[in-house]
C-alpha cells in the first residue's frame, strides 16, 4: 500500500483495508485510517464509484464451512468455550469487512455516513482483539477451528443498493447479535467464565450503537427516495427472508438501537 496514492483518501484506503488478508495488518490499517480521519488528515471522495469486491481479504485459516456442517460443543469445557469465542471472533472479523465495504462501495452519501462506518469498523476491530485475547487465555487462537462460510453472502446480495444493505445487514444480521448475546452470557455465567461475560457486555453496548447507525441510514435512504421505512423493510424481509426471522428478540436492545414499536410488534408476530 502506497501512502500517497491510497492512505490520503478514505474510501480508497477502506478498500485496501478490506482486501488485506493478514489479520494483524488489517487491524493496524483500520486503526491508522481512523486516526488519520480523526486528525483531519484524510480526504473523502464521495463521488468515486467503487470497484466490485468479490471476496474480502481473509487469512487461510479458519477453514470455512456451511453453517449446517459446523459441530456444536457445550460450554462446560474450556475447549467448548474456546470454540464459542472463536465463532464470535469470526463474526467480529467479518463485521470489520462489512463496515469497510459500506465505506468503499456506496458513493454519493453524506460525509457522516462514511465517518459512522469507519467508527464501526474501528470498534469491530477492538471487539475482535478483545475476544482473541480471551481465546488465547483459553489456549486457542483465531483460525484454530472451522467457521461459518456464509457471513459474506448477504453483503454480496445487497451490494447493488445502499438502502437494501442498511436494511438487511445492520437491521437483520447485526441485530441478531443483540438477540442472542444474553443467552450466550447466561451459559457462560453458568460455566463460570465471567471474563467472557464482561467482554460481551462491552460488545453488546457497542453493537446497539452499530444497529442504530444502520437504522438511521436506512431511514435516511427511504426519506431520500420517498419510501416508507416500515413498508420497505417488511417488503425486503419477504424478498430475502421468505421463511421469516427466528426469535428470540432482545426487545430492550432493539428499542435502544432505534427499532420502532410497530416494527417490534410485527417481528414478534412473525416469530409466533
Q: Give the model's pLDDT for residue 100.
A: 97
User: Which pLDDT band, with edges at 50, 70 and 90, does 63 fall under?
Assistant: confident
- The percentage of residues in the chain with a pLDDT greater than 70, rounded to a whole number, is 93
* Alpha-helical runs (H) found in the chain: 10-19, 23-38, 78-105, 111-137, 153-157, 162-168, 175-190, 194-225, 229-240, 251-256, 261-271
Q: Which three cell numbers stand for residue 252?
A: 430492550
Q: Give the model's pLDDT for residue 196.
A: 96
Three-state secondary structure readout of 144-165: CCCEECCCCHHHHHCCCCHHHH
Q: Give the model's pLDDT for residue 109.
A: 97
Per-residue pLDDT, averaged over 36-58, amounts to: 89
Contact 84, 142 (CB under 8 A): no
The per-residue pLDDT for range 128-145, each reduced to its tens digit, is 999 999 999 999 999 999
The rounded mean pLDDT for the chain is 91
| Residue 1 or 269, more confident | 269
Say if strands 147-148 and 64-65 run parallel, antiparallel, or are unpaired. parallel
Q: Give the model's pLDDT for residue 68.
A: 58
The per-residue pLDDT for range 204-263, each reduced to its tens digit, is 999 999 999 999 999 999 999 999 999 999 999 999 999 888 888 999 999 999 999 999
The CA distance from 26 to 249, in Å, is: 32
Among 66-70, 85-89, 114-118, 197-201, the range scoring the smallest mean pLDDT is 66-70
Q: Give the model's pLDDT for residue 1.
A: 42
Amino acid at each position: 500500500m502506497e501512502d500517497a496514492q491510497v492512505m490520503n483518501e478514505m474510501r480508497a484506503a477502506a478498500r485496501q483495508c478490506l482486501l488485506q488478508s493478514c489479520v494483524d495488518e488489517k487491524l493496524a490499517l483500520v486503526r491508522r485510517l481512523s486516526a488519520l480521519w480523526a486528525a483531519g488528515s484524510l480526504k473523502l471522495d464521495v463521488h468515486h464509484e467503487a470497484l466490485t469486491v468479490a471476496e474480502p481479504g481473509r487469512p487461510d485459516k479458519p477453514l470455512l464451512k456451511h453453517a449446517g456442517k459446523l459441530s456444536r460443543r457445550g460450554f462446560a469445557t474450556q475447549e467448548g468455550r474456546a470454540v464459542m469465542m472463536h465463532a464470535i471472533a469470526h463474526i467480529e472479523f467479518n463485521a470489520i469487512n462489512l463496515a469497510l465495504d459500506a465505506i468503499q462501495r456506496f458513493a454519493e452519501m453524506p460525509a457522516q455516513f462514511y465517518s459512522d462506518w469507519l467508527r464501526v469498523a474501528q470498534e469491530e476491530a477492538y471487539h475482535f482483539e478483545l475476544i482473541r485475547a480471551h481465546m488465547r487465555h483459553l489456549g486457542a487462537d483465531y483460525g484454530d477451528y472451522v467457521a461459518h462460510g456464509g457471513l459474506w453472502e448477504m453483503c454480496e446480495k445487497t451490494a447493488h443498493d445502499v438502502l437494501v444493505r442498511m436494511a438487511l445487514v445492520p437491521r437483520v444480521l447485526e441485530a441478531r447479535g443483540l438477540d442472542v448475546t444474553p443467552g450466550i452470557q447466561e451459559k457462560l455465567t453458568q460455566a463460570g467464565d465471567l471474563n467472557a461475560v464482561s467482554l460481551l457486555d462491552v460488545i453488546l453496548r457497542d453493537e446497539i450503537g452499530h444497529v442504530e447507525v444502520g437504522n438511521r441510514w436506512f431511514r435516511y435512504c427511504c426519506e431520500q427516495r420517498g419510501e416508507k421505512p416500515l413498508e420497505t423493510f417488511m417488503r425486503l424481509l419477504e424478498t430475502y427472508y421468505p421463511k421469516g426471522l427466528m426469535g428470540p428478540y432482545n426487545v430492550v436492545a432493539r428499542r435502544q438501537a432505534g427499532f420502532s414499536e410497530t416494527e417490534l410488534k410485527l417481528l414478534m408476530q412473525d416469530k409466533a
